[in-house]
Amino acid sequence: MKANTELFRVFSTVLRREMRVSFASWGEGLNPLLFFVMVVTLFPLGVGPEAKQLAAIAPGVIWVCALLAMLMSLDGLFASDHRDGTLEQWVLSGQPLSLIALAKVCSHWLRTGLPLVLMSPLLGVLMNLPAATLSTLAISLLLGTFILSLVGAIGAALTLTVKQGGVLLALLVLPLSVPVLIFGAGAVQAVAEQRSALGQLSLLAAGVMAALALAPIGIAAALRVGVASGD
């Protein structure tokens, strides 16, 4: 019980620190959300206002824009901690680095993924999605963006010491994100066609469980390599 309490204390301390830092630079944190909103909003202007056409492409458009918005926020996930020595202190602290990495990922999702989820129903209405699909859209993004944060954090840790590693990060993360994109957009499309989306949502939920179990370990290992190579 004491060990569990200590682990929870470490997790909550890192999470609170990250949220304070993100609130201090809230303008930078808005960039993914603004990108998401602007790009989705441009589609009705470029494709045209025809309702059926917008509704047909809406699931894919919203999901692709969400994926790109998440990706653009990953490059600096560990960079500032690496520059100021915080990351090295975490590695040397004796605390589970995987737990600290999980707290970082949760903070990243709260300031990046959650705003996308909250904004998605409004953008779904803009793209003429049926009202019945909006809750499925939000749920699929809730599950999918968390997977993207976990998987993307592995890529961010692997490219930590690479100069201008944004392109390499995209090459690492995008192929792994394809199943999430397919299942997420497929769930919304299934409801739009009056079919059950339970299969796609179940696969996304299973992906969350698998990523929670495996990603923090991979992130911790990549961060240790990054700190060692930085030395």
pLDDT in tens, 53-85: 888 899 999 999 999 999 888 877 888 788 878
pLDDT at 73: 84
pLDDT at 76: 78
The more confidently predicted of residues 198 and 14 is 198
Contacts 24+ apart (CB under 8 A), 121-124: 123/36, 123/37, 123/40, 123/41, 123/62, 124/58, 124/62
CA distances from 32 to 44, 86, 116 (A): 20, 25, 8
pLDDT digits (tens, 9 = 90+) for 146-204: 999 999 999 988 888 777 667 788 888 999 999 999 999 999 999 999 999 999 999 99
Domain that holds residue 184: 2-230
CB 39 within 8 A of CB 68: yes
**Overall domain count for the chain:** 1
CB 126 within 8 A of CB 49: no
Give this prediction's pTM.
0.91
